[in-house]
């Protein structure tokens, strides 16, 4: 495994639409392993493939309950709203209050191509929305209703 360079805001790669994964091969496994190590090194709860320069529909999330890998994810439904703080490893030092769905149902494939479904709520739902946006070239700032200082940030 290796820590990859995290692409920062301003790099056009973060504004592109990612393509679906077609091959569930060792290359994908290495990407996912590297993304995990990169996310952990940056103290993040999620990371999307374009953040390491790979324009494929892949993200990972670990809100402290173990990592889940989402390949070719699709948000099937959302419900409710939550307001809370948010940041992004591609926008270091910048934080804001966003409004996101409280509940999200997402289907995706794992690294072997098997389909699965997740019903997420709270921080998990927020992270899924944040990472899924990255796959369509959208940064969390587009959802910020109020900027906050770093010390006001909490992962809720």
- So which residues are the catalytic ones? 131
Q: Coil, strand, or helix at residue 148? A: strand
**Is residue 14 at the binding interface for Co ion, with CB under 5 A as the rule?**
no
Binding region for Co ion (CB under 5 A) out of 18-26, 87-95, 106-114, 116-124: 87-95
Count the Cβ atoms, other than its own, within 10 Å of residue 45.
Answer: 19
Q: Provide the minimum distance between the beta carbon of 25 and Co ion in the complex, in angstroms, as a whole number.
A: 26
- Indicate the residue among 28 and 45 with the shorter CB distance to Co ion: 45
Find the distance separating the first CA and the last CA of the chain, reported in whole Å.
29
Distance CA 90, CA 53 (A): 11
Residues 46-65 that bind Co ion (CB under 5 A): none
**Is residue 88 at the binding interface for Co ion, with CB under 5 A as the rule?**
yes
Distance CA 31, CA 36 (A): 9
Q: Provide the minimum distance between the beta carbon of 89 and Co ion in the complex, in angstroms, as a whole number.
A: 6
Nearest residue to the partner Co ion, using Cβ: 88
- Indicate the residue among 54 and 88 with the shorter CB distance to Co ion: 88
Binding region for Co ion (CB under 5 A) out of 31-39, 55-63, 71-79, 86-94: 86-94
- Indicate the residue among 24 and 97 with the shorter CB distance to Co ion: 97
Helix, strand, coil abundance in the chain, percent, nearest 5: 30, 35, 40
Q: How many CA atoms lie within 13 A of 5 on its CB side?
A: 6
């Amino acid at each position: 495994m290796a820590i990859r360079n995290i692409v920062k805001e301003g790099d056009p790669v973060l504004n592109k639409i990612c393509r679906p994964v077609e091959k569930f091969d060792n290359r994908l496994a290495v990407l996912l392993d590297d993304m995990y190590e990169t996310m952990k090194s940056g103290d993040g709860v999620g990371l999307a493939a374009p953040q390491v320069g790979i324009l494929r529909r892949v993200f990972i999330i670990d809100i402290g309950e173990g990592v889940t890998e989402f390949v070719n994810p699709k948000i099937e439904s959302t419900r409710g709203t939550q307001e809370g703080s948010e940041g992004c490893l591609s926008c270091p030092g910048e934080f804001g209050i966003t409004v996101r769905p409280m509940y999200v149902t997402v289907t995706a494939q794992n690294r072997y191509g098997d389909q699965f479904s997740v019903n997420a709520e709270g921080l998990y739902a927020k992270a899924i929305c944040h990472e899924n946006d990255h796959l369509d070239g959208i940064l969390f700032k587009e959802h910020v209703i109020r900027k906050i200082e770093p010390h006001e940030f909490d992962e809720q």
